[in-house]
Structure 1
C-alpha cells in the first residue's frame, strides 16, 4: 500500500454521527471483532515458528534457554489467559464500495487520506499470506528471545520493547479468507484497571472500546452504502457535515443495486 492511498472505515449511522461530532475513532476490543479467530491465528503462527527455530538452530537456542522458555511461556499465557482482552483495534479497509464490508459493518464509510491519518497515528497493515506471516514472526522472535534473557529475572517484562513488538505483529496476522478487505489497523492497549475503556451495547452484549482522537482534516469523503432512500440520507448527512464544520468533505453514494 502506498502512503497517498485512501482508507475506508465502514460503520453504522450511529457510530458515524458520533465519530464526526466528537472527532474520535473507536478502538474495539479484539475479542469482539467479526473474526472469531482474532489473535489466535497470530499465536498459532508464532508457535510454529518457534518450533521450527528450535529444530533448525537448537544449539544456538540451548545457550539462550531461558529466553526461549520465556517466549514459550508468553505464548502459552496468550493461549490460556486471552491477552487480547487488553488489546483494541480500529479497522480500515483499502477497498472502497466493497459489498462484504457494507454487509458486515454498516451502511456508511468514512474515507480517510492515509498520509493524513499517519501524521498523528500509527497504522499497521494486516498480513494474510502464510509465508509472509511466518517470515515476519521469525524476524521479530529472534531479537525478542535475546532480549528476554535480560528481562526474565526482573518485574518489568511488560516493558520489554520486544514483547510489545511481538504482540503488535500478532495483532496484525489475519486469516487468509479476509484478504479482500486489505485491512489496516490502529492498535491500542488498556491497562490492568481498564482506565479509559468504555462500553457500548450491541444486542445482549457490552462491547469494550477506547476512543482516540484523529486529524479531522484527513477525512476525504463520506460514502453512503446500497440502502433505500439514499437521497434522504445524503441530505441529512450534508446537514451533519455542515454542523461539524466539515463542508469540504464530499458525499459519495454507492452504485451497488439495492433491493429492500
Structure 2
C-alpha cells in the first residue's frame, strides 16, 4: 500500500491465529522437521570476524538483497507471486483478497530482511573460498539449541529449502491457508468497520509471507546446506534500529544490523543506565540462560598455520570467558594458497 491505514487491534490477534495454522500445515515438510543430527551450525568468517563476533557477542545481519545469491530476495517473492497467479478462485470474496495481495506483492521491491547465515557443514571448500578469506579463515561451530535461545524472539531461525517442488508445495499451502482464513473471518472483519478492509487483509497476508520468503533458495546453492537467522524490520526502520554499512568482498556497500545476544543487548542497556556498575555485578542481575555465544568447536581454515593459530585462539577464547576445552580442529580440505 502506498498509504498508511490504521488497523483495528483485532487484526493482530487474527494474525497470531493464522500463524499457528500455517505452522501446523507445514509440519510435514522437511525444512520444519527437527532432526537429532541438526545440532551444530557453522559460521565461516575471517580471523577479524572471529575476533569481532566473540568480543562483541554479536554478528553482522546483512540485508538479504546483498547476499551471494543476487536474486535471492526476488526468488522468494516470485514463488509467492506464482502461487497467487495460479490460485483457483472460487468466489468474489476470494477474488478481492487475491487481487489486493497481488498488488502488495507487485510493490515488494525492497528487502526488509536482515540475515546471518550458517551452514550445517563445517569444512566445505566453497564456503572457505567465499566467506573465510579464501581458506585463511575459520569455521565457528555453535550449539544450535542455545544459539536459538540466545536470539529468541527477535530473530527467527530457519533451515533453507532448495527443492523446487517442495518450495512450490509449501508456498501453495501458505497462500491457500491465508486466503481461506481471511475469507472465513470476513463477517467478523466487516462488523468492525475497518477502513479499506481488503487492503489491510492484503497487508496482513504479506506480513505472513515475509516470514517465509527468505526460507527458499535456488537449487544451485544446495551444497551450502544453509541455516539462517532472519531479523525482519518494517519500512520505518529508524524508529527502532539504526542501519550500519560495510563494504563486502564483491565491492558492494551492504546495509546491515547487529544481531546481538539477548544478554549482550541487556548489558549494553544497563551500561547506559548504570555507567559505573561493574560488569560482574550486571551479569548477576541479568537472568539469561545463554551467557556467551555457545561455541562448541572451531575448524581452522586450510590455508592457515594450524598450530600457531590454535595456540593463540585458545588464549583468546580464555580471555573472553570461554573454556579451554573447546574442540579445535584443522580443515581436511587439501587447499592451500
TM over 0.5, shorter chain? yes
Q: Distance in 2 between matches of 1:13 and 1:88?
A: 23
Q: SS state of the match for residue 177, structure 2?
A: helix
Q: Distance in 1 between matches of 2:195 and 2:301?
A: 51
Higher gyration radius (CA): 2
| Greater mean alpha carbon deviation, residues 250-259 or residues 27-36 | 250-259
Q: Does 1:245 align with 2:321?
A: yes
Q: Are the counterparts in 2 of residues 39 and 173 from structure 1 also a CA contact under 8 Å?
A: no
CA gap 1:152/1:45 in 2 versus in 1, 3 angstroms: farther
TM-score (norm 1): 0.87
1:169 aligned residue: 212
Correspondence for 2:244 among 198, 213, 226: 198
Name whichever structure is richer in strand by fraction.
Answer: 1
Residues paired across the two proteins, number: 251
Q: Are the counterparts in 1 of residues 105 and 206 from structure 2 also a CA contact under 8 Å?
A: no
User: Cα distance, 1:131 vs. partner?
Assistant: 1.1
Q: Does 1:93 align with 2:119?
A: yes
TM-score (norm 2): 0.68
Q: Are the counterparts in 1 of residues 101 and 202 from structure 2 also a CA contact under 8 Å?
A: no
Structure 2 unmatched ranges of 5 or more: 1-33, 262-289
Q: Are the counterparts in 1 of residues 57 and 293 from structure 2 also a CA contact under 8 Å?
A: no
Structure 1 unmatched ranges of 5 or more: none
Q: CA RMSD in A?
A: 2.4
Q: Deviations over 1:202-247 (max 9, x none)?
A: 3654321111223425211121111132222222212211111112
CA gap 1:114/1:152 in 2 versus in 1, 3 angstroms: farther
Q: SS state of the match for residue 128, structure 1?
A: coil
Q: Are the counterparts in 1 of residues 162 and 216 from structure 2 also a CA contact under 8 Å?
A: yes
1:213 aligned residue: 260
Correspondences of 1:47-66 after superposition (within 5 Å): 47-53=81-87, 57-60=88-91, 62-66=92-96
Q: Distance in 2 between matches of 1:256 and 1:45?
A: 36
Q: Deviations over 1:64-102 (max 9, x none)?
A: 222111210121012xx22x1x21001111112011111
Q: Distance in 2 between matches of 1:176 and 1:128?
A: 5
Q: Does 1:126 align with 2:160?
A: yes
Q: SS state of the match for residue 119, structure 1?
A: helix
